[in-house]
Chain A
Amino acid sequence: MRLSELLGAEVVDEQGRGAGRVHDVRLEQDGPIIGGFGASLRLAGLIIGWRALGARFGYERASMMGPLPVKLLVGWVHHDGRYVEWDRVRAIEPGRILITGSADDLPHPSAAS
């Protein structure tokens, strides 16, 4: 599986409702040991939302302060961001990722990490 196959895929809950598209993939360095790198990067979860604009500008990090007009604009566009724990992924189809439970109880990405 490639990262590019996950990015942009639509996330669908058990009721068949779309929850958003994958904007980013959260990794945690606690997987099996791999060569000189140490613990490998485990796929921890998916950051999803409906609007992709500004997903990679860096405003997910709280330390990124300015410039204010851009930060506000990106924040406004991105208010619908949510986080899906990998455990909730049921199946991966081309362009679609099925998750367990309902899309309503997905937390905001910043609350999850």
Chain B
Amino acid sequence: MAGRVLDAGLDLFDRQLLDKDARLAGKVDDLEFSFPEGGGPPHVTAILAGPGALAGRLGGRLGAWLEGLANRLRDSQERRPARIPFGVVKRIGSCVDLSVAKEELETDRVDAWIGDHVISRIPGARHAPE
């Protein structure tokens, strides 16, 4: 049985992620492949998104700096980029639709922090512009 064919770099890399309410939720900064336990070719198990994943692609001093920053911003002790399990991907088109809300993603932490500590302190932040 032949399934749909995609070229990862062209059709998936750097695409916009949308959550279940069509809110923008980051980019496909990298993909994680896993080898099945019984052997056989690897398959995609997660989307890696956020500064930690992006840092690996940029390389050099900028990448190292970004990675350090990303690790400091995350609560977990592990030094790995935020991942989105591929099971929550709904559709791959000109953007990648997810079946969960943005708040449930690991990748949303920085946004949430800036939202809570900076932006929401400014009057009017919680109302749509008029």
Contact = CB atoms under 8 A, between A and B. Distances in A.
A26 B36 contact: no
A37 B87 contact: yes
Say whether chain A's binding surface is mostly helix, strand, loop, or mixed. mixed
Interface in A32-65: 32, 34-37, 39-44, 47, 55-56, 58, 60-61
Contacts of B19: none
Dominant secondary structure of chain B at its interface with chain A: mixed
Interface residues of B, number: 34
Interface string B27-47: 000111111100001111100
Interface in A44-88: 44, 47, 55-56, 58, 60-61, 86-87
Which bucket holds chain A's interface residue count?
A: 20 to 34
A24 B10 contact: yes
Interface of B: 1-10, 12-13, 30-36, 41-45, 48, 56-57, 85-90, 99
